Structure 1
Amino acid sequence: MAFNTVWIPDKNQLKSQYNEFHAHFAVLLKRLEDHLRATVKVSALLTYKTRVKSFDSYYKKLLKFPPTDPAIRFPLVTDLIGIRIVCPFLQNLSEVENILIKNFTVREVERKGADRTFCEFGYESTHILADIPESFKVGLLLPENLIFEVQIRTILQDAWAEVEHELIYKFEFSPFDFPLKRKFASINASLSLADILFQEIRDAQTSLNMELDRRREQFYLRADEFTDGLLGDHSGAEEKSGMNSSNTSSLETIDTMIFYAIKAHNNGDFQTAETLYTKILNQKPNALVASIVYKHRGMAFFAQGAYEDAYKDFSASLNENPKNFRSYYYAGIVLMMTDKNPEAIEMFTKSLEINGYQAHVYFRRALAYFQENQLILALHDLDNAAALGLSAEEEKKLRAAIAKKIDMV
């Protein structure tokens, strides 16, 4: 009569071996975590959860998935060393995954929950199994062929996984009755939808910020032409080409209108930009929104050389929100370009009173002091601007011009 050979682990022997390794596992885990924190920088909001699997959890999993080779002295499970990286947005999941693939020898990538239908529930998570680099093992006593697992989740995926663990997995319970299943599916679907919406909002913000950066750059280019003229550089800057006006009748929400107004502004279509900015203001938005829109429209006027209209809009922006330090700064630049340096100095000073860490504002006020022959004050502001990171080229030009004036006095 033949008997099936069944692998029966010696629990006490395995526990003794586990205890020998445990302190070394902990050191290894810390090395891996430190390396990941230094390497994975897709967001400042990443959080890390790490653990060495407890012996009891290790032993239970070993019984569930016994080794194919009973001769192995210390059989391994894939998630003995585990690191979870929790990300704020869905986009971060693939970004983290790509970084891991580039930096480690990856054995397996599993996307749990990806094959579920809309009526099923369960957590979603990306699990990556990877080899441990030899340099991380130096000085450690470790079992052969040890690997580690990285789980990548969003904040909401992680929250769902924790709750699911408590309600289902931990108690070995699975809902059979349809209304209860529907409740779990509804919760899971709501969290998945929230993740998608968060990512869409993030994408929209990223696009808007890119347009804002382009618009500020164009504003500063025009202001820099004036500065270069003061300091003897007449090379100027290239003009941006315009574009045809677009149909704005279908744009209804303030967010949409702001985005398309800034986009038109950046492309030199000032007529469309002004139309959209004015349309927003006609809707009587709250003071904070109105302040921002007046500021944007003022920048559009400024870009066209309509300095009087620009100054009126910057002043209107400040009437709506007296704490808008950028509007003080922009108003100051307009005043400088219309040869009103004392008033410009006052505007720059108010901007710095609200936010004293603006290198460019110290630089512009130094220019205004320079124009007014208040050279000591100009040098003081230039020193502050340099301390806050003003480019060496800008500092060098103005400092040379101040020195030249001092020699002439």
Structure 2
Amino acid sequence: MALKEDYEARFDGVLQHLAHALEDQIKGYLEGEIRIDRVQARAKSVDRFLAKAAKKQGDAARYQEPLHQIQDQVGARIISFYLSDVKRVSDIVERYFRSVEARNLIPESEWEFGYFGRHYVLLVPDELIDPSWDRTQVPDFFELQIKTLFQHAWSEANHDLGYKPGARDLTPDDKRRLAFTSAQAWGADQIFEELFRASEAAR
């Protein structure tokens, strides 16, 4: 119960305001950039935070200090049109934010299909921290994902089907169907990127 109350205080007092400030800041950095579909930032809901905090690693709790260890209490996303736009946007992000972790998330094997995207753990900028906030309630990090429209659409549907609270366990056949849709999204990204490059080359 104490964890729930602590996170609710953090969510109401800091995280929602920080998410709005981050969204505005990222939009400002990307102002004038083309082929950006949307920029969003939001605080992790109380229910989702508690569900993540309760996760196990073997018999032990995965997070000994959830308020300090869970890095996506504020999460942001940038959705671009094409694969090459992800690289362009990533360069802008790396210019303005201090990165703790940066990686491309791809399935472990080339025979597998699943989640794709560019993932960052970034330090919360000091200039966004309101002096009136309780500094102990401000997280050190936030997560940022940069994805194409197809990557975003697939990951949102996949999360809704397989990971939301109360969702039924996916059968092996369900997982094959999800992998098939991921392969289709991957193929669509490749084709749109090729068409975009051909269009640009013809100008």
Match of 2:178 in 1: 184
**CA distance in 1 between partners of 2:40 and 2:127 (Å):** 23
1:155-188 per-position Cα deviation (integer Å, ceiling 9, x unaligned): 01111112212332332533324xx554333322
Of the candidates 29, 33, 44, which is equivalent to residue 39 of structure 1? 29
Paired residues of 1:167 and 1:173 also in contact (CA < 8 A): no
Q: CA deviation at 1:203?
A: 0.9
Of the candidates 162, 167, 171, which is equivalent to residue 175 of structure 1? 171
Is structure 2 residue 3 aligned with structure 1 residue 14?
Answer: yes
Q: Give the secondary structure class of the aligned counterpart of 1:37.
A: helix
Aligned CA distance change for structure 1 residues 181 and 145 (closer, same or farther; 3 Å): closer
Match of 2:197 in 1: 203
- Matched to 1:33, the amino acid is E
Q: CA deviation at 1:75?
A: 3.3
Which of 1 and 2 has greater Rg? 1
**CA distance in 2 between partners of 1:186 and 1:40 (Å):** 33
Match of 1:158 in 2: 152
Paired residues of 1:106 and 1:128 also in contact (CA < 8 A): yes
Paired residues of 1:76 and 1:146 also in contact (CA < 8 A): no
Paired residues of 1:49 and 1:85 also in contact (CA < 8 A): yes
Of the candidates 83, 86, 105, which is equivalent to residue 98 of structure 2? 105
**CA distance in 1 between partners of 2:75 and 2:108 (Å):** 24
Paired residues of 2:121 and 2:141 also in contact (CA < 8 A): yes
- Matched to 2:170, the amino acid is S
**CA distance in 2 between partners of 1:25 and 1:169 (Å):** 23
Match of 2:59 in 1: none
Superposition RMSD in Å = 2.2
Paired residues of 1:128 and 1:149 also in contact (CA < 8 A): yes
Correspondence list, 1:256-405, <5 A: none
Of the candidates 134, 137, 140, which is equivalent to residue 141 of structure 1? 134
Q: Specify every segment of 5 or more residues in structure 2 that has no aligned partner in the other structure, as ranges.
A: 56-61
Q: Give the secondary structure class of the aligned counterpart of 2:63.
A: coil
Correspondence list, 1:245-256, <5 A: none
**CA distance in 2 between partners of 1:114 and 1:148 (Å):** 23
| Structure 1: 4+ residue segments shifted above 4 A | none
Counting aligned pairs with the same residue, the percent is: 27
Of the candidates 50, 53, 56, which is equivalent to residue 62 of structure 1? 53
Indicate the structure with greater strand content: 2
Is structure 2 residue 100 aligned with structure 1 residue 116?
Answer: no
Paired residues of 2:15 and 2:138 also in contact (CA < 8 A): no
**CA distance in 1 between partners of 2:19 and 2:138 (Å):** 16
Q: CA deviation at 1:106?
A: 0.3
Match of 1:293 in 2: none
Name the count of aligned residue pairs. Answer: 191
Q: Specify every segment of 5 or more residues in structure 1 that has no aligned partner in the other structure, as ranges.
A: 1-11, 210-409
Is structure 2 residue 64 aligned with structure 1 residue 49?
Answer: no
Is structure 2 residue 123 aligned with structure 1 residue 131?
Answer: yes
Match of 2:87 in 1: 94
**CA distance in 1 between partners of 2:162 and 2:115 (Å):** 11
**CA distance in 1 between partners of 2:70 and 2:157 (Å):** 24
Q: Give the secondary structure class of the aligned counterpart of 2:68.
A: coil
Aligned CA distance change for structure 1 residues 114 and 91 (closer, same or farther; 3 Å): farther
- Matched to 2:97, the amino acid is F
- Matched to 2:118, the amino acid is T
Instruction: Between the two structures, name the one with larger relative contact order (CA 8 Å, sep ≥ 6).
Output: 2
